[in-house]
Amino acid sequence: MTHAEGVLRQDTLKQRAQHLRDEKTHLMKRKEDLELQTNEMNLPFPEARERLMNRIKQDNAEIKQQEKEISEMRKIVDQYQRQLKEIQNELSGKPNEGAQEEAAKFEVLA
């Protein structure tokens, strides 16, 4: 935590102001979304359909990107879990399975 963050956390008025700015941003986005929906209701059917199809394509692209990020994060978590297990095994004095396999390979070669 930086010094500025610490000062901000201590000052409740600044916290409240930041919270209100965040809420304002959220509400402005919501307002824009609602205005778009209202305007779309007044559009001719083909144009409304086209906009809806574009929104679906954007949403699908976002979903695909998020699924890719989730997959990458899962791989990273799995890697860290394997490393953690190896470290725990080393600390407890138990060799991990990979080390046992390596030892067996060297015995065969010897």
pLDDT for the residue numbered 30: 94
Residue 98: what pLDDT? 57
Q: pLDDT tens for residues 84-107?
A: 999 999 888 865 555 566 666 666
pLDDT tens digits for range 17-70:
899 999 999 999 999 988 887 877 787 888 888 988 998 999 999 999 999 999
- HEC per residue, the chain: CCHHHHHHHHCHHHHHHHHHHHHHHHHHHHHHHHHHHHHHHCCCHHHHHHHHHHHHHHHHHHHHHHHHHHHHHHHHHHHHHHHHHHHHHHHHCCCCHHHHHHHHHHHHHC
> Which residue would you say has higher pLDDT here, 75 or 103?
75
